[in-house]
Amino acid sequence: MTMNRLELESNLASEIAQTLAYDIEHKGQATLLVSGGSTPVNLFKLLSNIDLDWSKVTISLVDERYVPDGHKDQNGGLVKANLLQNKAAKAQFIPLVQNAENAEDNLRQVRDAFSSDHFPLSVVILGMGTDGHTASLFPDAPELDYGIDLNSEEDLIITNPPTAPHQRITFTRRALLNTNRLILHCYGAEKALILKEADQKRDYHIYPIAAFMNQDFKDLEVYWAE
């Protein structure tokens, strides 16, 4: 039976909370990486009201645009307005852009903010664009191969997608697969078709999401509704 969006979001919020609670109990802390865009807004609101020791949870994003605080294109603003509210207001938030004027300096700052204690991550929630990109790993980005390469030494890199606005900072595939749960959250018939084609073609240069679907390290849990 196919779930509607509200049912899916309720189930997903519960699953995420259970995984965070498990890591809090067994590791003393938990780390959640989320995606931006309109898709997760209601999920964020549901999560923000769940009973959890949020003071032991670190929240960040899988990627961010190099824009200053308050900019309409900043994913962090979406997280602050919808997730870091209510009971989840006690969580620690690590913004991926702390210096919008100097991308390289910012990259160093953010790398320093993430310690080995954050890994393995508790939960990673990926989104997907209509071009098959996920995080800021775009099909036409010159940094795509490095961001996908599991032998790269970096958890975070800068990307410059020609067809998308703004320079970006993004976690690499290597880092995103280093998680207890890897989740793709998306909606609509168009996204379902992209997932089907990505699974068939298995070429991340066409659909970067394929690199997360076709790998042996961590199962990608797909939460999709019409």
Distance of CA 97 to the CA centre of its chain: 15
Q: What is the pLDDT of residues 92-134, one digit of tens each?
A: 999 999 999 999 999 999 999 998 999 999 999 999 999 999 9
**pLDDT at position 40, please?**
98
Distance of CA 150 to the CA centre of its chain: 17
Q: Helix, strand or coil for residue 198?
A: helix
Peptide linkage before 40 cis (omega within 30 of 0): no
Contacts of 65 (CB under 8 A, 6+ apart): 71, 73, 74, 75, 97, 165, 166, 167, 168
DSSP string, 59-77: EEESEEES--TT-TT-HHH
pLDDT score of 77 more than 60: yes
* DSSP 8-state class, residue 32: E
On whether the CB atoms of residues 66 and 167 are closer than 8 A, the answer is yes
pLDDT score of 159 more than 70: yes
Q: Which residues pair with 168 in a beta bridge?
A: 65, 159
Pairing between β-strand 179-187 and β-strand 121-126 as defined by DSSP bridges: parallel
Domains of the chain: 5-225 (3.40.50.1360)
**pLDDT at position 113, please?**
96
Q: What is the pLDDT of residues 129-149, one digit of tens each?
A: 999 999 999 999 999 999 999
